[in-house]
A and B are shown apart, each in its own frame.
Chain A
């Protein structure tokens, strides 16, 4: 095991995949530029050469189709986009081609491509640079969608994504990029279909994903001092969803809070609540709760974004109400935050 950041873990996975399989290629806007996609593509060009590692024209849709075509003849592309929002231009290729090919042609050939999309957050990213559209992708049968939280999962799930025989959307939250964690050395795959129990508890099951897991950890710590014991499940994959792990936990606790980084309505969290309500109704001691972001676009202004994001406070409040029937005094949670609301830490100084 070695301590490293999420960025380093992604980078290591890319190196390992490219070394292991010469049919793996990596491209996207900025892959070979001095910033190397926030450091994630560091060293790839030097090691694997410009045929396999390259910058591309500003042509998201076309270049996704190119990845699909190359995949039909055995090339595994790892594409990356610095913002998920830029990839919206490629919805046609990914939805109508990549997701359908295997099914539509009678299971004869699949499309093994990996698309890394970075989700922006904070520092005035605004309406079109920080959209969390995981549910759009997860809604399309034929796509797999993963959202790892820890460096170890980032590495293992990226390796699994690249090795997978199907199109995988690999979502990286920008605020996780500098998070550190212990990461196993060498090649290993973290299965795409398994959620992870991060902390076990007895009162409430929190099903979380990506950056919300960090917020959940803060809330859980706070709630522990209030005598409330939470079980935290990090989904890791939102398509497929590991229902078994969720159901096992909810059967035990009888309570569910589902978290999402996206707008709440029709979110992944909505699906979790719906499925649990449908299948485990008799186990529930209280109505399940969903906490996503408000159903409005994300504003740019420092002043406007201040009250916009739902964070650990919202989680603690919801669970407090669920367990004690009243609002907890949560100002300590807000006060424990060392940085302004629009930055993840002192390493982030804008502008992008």
Chain B
């Protein structure tokens, strides 16, 4: 990573962290009224993905999508306004926190049913292959999603057709309050399952932004070279409750020492420290980035609060797109 990339990486990491923190702060005010899944602690993978790809690489995501959307460069105002249910939101208030979209940066959409955007991502990869585009499809999902049939079916097809798809599995060890124990056999390595299906596999420390950047960049290159679909399992950890703005260690489903161990591997702070130590970025450069990010978040919140709700009549449609009769068939 060169200096410019390091700067951009830190900006993305800090943006994701602070945007999520801001949501956690304002959520109890009761103006954001939709189920909201935050990614604090999981910033490295989405930030690195954003850096390693372009807006021509197309991403799909899950219920926990804010970080992926922001990492890809999605509009900050559009996201906050969407959380607030405002007409200026990225889906005009239709979708809420779990259904973000910003096609201008290649963020094609996130969906709220576990694993159901995985096949959609594979479809994006098929379209790229058919259109001979030198791009990749970026498919985000969690450890829980690998228990759904949709994952196996989609991965099989991606392997079969050597599609330019990157399966980005963020294994944060939990699905809601359930550890892997009641869900997958002891000793299971998700990455080995993916390998057996026929995907090219890697594992990575999902809290190390530089490592994530390297692994995603290499996987993208292989996929574009026609080497077939790629699967990366990132180990990471969410700090807050599954859904909502609070820490929920009092519920005791996660051991305190496990929580402390992962918190000590803070992906944002560790990257900052490293960049300072190796002289890539100075303290004042860091502070400059931080100020800009914080300003943009404050702006997005003000913008969202001041934006109106959509007209109530907008709820009623349209639900079908009109056919464009002037468009000719593509040759």
A interface with B by C-beta (< 8 Å): 29-30, 32-35, 54-62, 85-86, 88-89, 123-129, 294, 296-297, 299-308, 342, 349-352
Partner of A123, one of B34, B86, B183, B314: B34
**In the complex the two chains form, what is the Cα distance from A270 to B176 in whole Å?**
38
CB <8 Å contact, A296 and B317: yes
Cβ of B325 under 8 Å from chain A: no
- What are some 25 contacts across the A-B interface (CB < 8 A)? A30-B177, A30-B178, A58-B115, A58-B144, A58-B175, A59-B148, A85-B113, A123-B33, A124-B85, A124-B97, A126-B98, A128-B113, A129-B112, A294-B315, A300-B93, A300-B94, A301-B92, A301-B96, A303-B85, A303-B312, A304-B315, A308-B312, A308-B315, A350-B30, A351-B243
CB <8 Å contact, A34 and B253: yes
Known A-B contacts A89-B148, A128-B111, A350-B244; the reply to A302 vs B316 at CB < 8 A is: no
**In the complex the two chains form, what is the Cα distance from A257 to B95 in whole Å?**
32
Please, which residue of chain A has its CB at the minimum distance from the CB of B184? A57
**In the complex the two chains form, what is the Cα distance from A207 to B184 in whole Å?**
46
B interface with A by C-beta (< 8 Å): 27, 30, 33-36, 85-87, 89, 92-99, 111-115, 144-145, 147-150, 175-178, 182-184, 243-245, 251-253, 308-310, 312-317, 319
Partner of B178, one of A55, A59, A294, A302: A55
* Cβ contacts under 8 Å, B113 to chain A: 85-86, 88-89, 128
B224 to chain A, nearest CB (A): 31
CB <8 Å contact, A342 and B33: yes
Partner of B244, one of A32, A304, A352: A352
Which of A125, A127, A302 has most B Cβ within 10 Å? A302
CB <8 Å contact, B85 and A302: yes
* Cβ contacts under 8 Å, A300 to chain B: 34, 85, 93-96, 99
A95 to chain B, nearest CB (A): 16
* Cβ contacts under 8 Å, B89 to chain A: 301
* Cβ contacts under 8 Å, B95 to chain A: 126-127, 300
Please, which residue of chain B has its CB at the minimum distance from the CB of A308? B315
Q: Which 6 residue pairs are nearest across A and B when measured between Cβ atoms?
A: A303-B309, A124-B34, A301-B93, A301-B85, A300-B96, A307-B312
* Cβ contacts under 8 Å, B34 to chain A: 123-126, 300, 350-351
Which of A34, A126, A127, A351 has most B Cβ within 10 Å? A351
**In the complex the two chains form, what is the Cα distance from A149 to B138 in whole Å?**
44
**In the complex the two chains form, what is the Cα distance from A123 to B85 in whole Å?**
11
**In the complex the two chains form, what is the Cα distance from A128 to B99 in whole Å?**
10
**In the complex the two chains form, what is the Cα distance from A299 to B86 in whole Å?**
12
**In the complex the two chains form, what is the Cα distance from A33 to B252 in whole Å?**
10
**In the complex the two chains form, what is the Cα distance from A304 to B34 in whole Å?**
12
B243 to chain A, nearest CB (A): 5
Please, which residue of chain B has its CB at the minimum distance from the CB of A50? B182
CB <8 Å contact, B85 and A304: yes
* Cβ contacts under 8 Å, A349 to chain B: 30
- Give 8 new A-B contacts, CB below 8 A, not counting A57-B183, A304-B85, A351-B244: A55-B182, A57-B182, A58-B115, A61-B149, A123-B35, A304-B310, A350-B30, A351-B35
CB <8 Å contact, B35 and A307: no
CB <8 Å contact, A307 and B313: yes
Which of A54, A56, A89 has most B Cβ within 10 Å? A89
Partner of A304, one of B94, B183, B319: B94
CB <8 Å contact, A352 and B310: no
CB <8 Å contact, B112 and A128: yes
**In the complex the two chains form, what is the Cα distance from A126 to B7 in whole Å?**
37
Partner of A307, one of B36, B96, B184, B315: B315
CB <8 Å contact, B175 and A29: yes
Please, which residue of chain A has its CB at the minimum distance from the CB of B112? A128
* Cβ contacts under 8 Å, B317 to chain A: 296
Please, which residue of chain B has its CB at the minimum distance from the CB of A35? B177
* Cβ contacts under 8 Å, B94 to chain A: 126-127, 297, 299-301, 304
Please, which residue of chain B has its CB at the minimum distance from the CB of A82? B176
CB <8 Å contact, B99 and A352: no
**In the complex the two chains form, what is the Cα distance from A39 to B184 in whole Å?**
25
**In the complex the two chains form, what is the Cα distance from A300 to B27 in whole Å?**
16
**In the complex the two chains form, what is the Cα distance from A58 to B146 in whole Å?**
8
* Cβ contacts under 8 Å, B245 to chain A: 351
B324 to chain A, nearest CB (A): 22
CB <8 Å contact, B96 and A124: yes
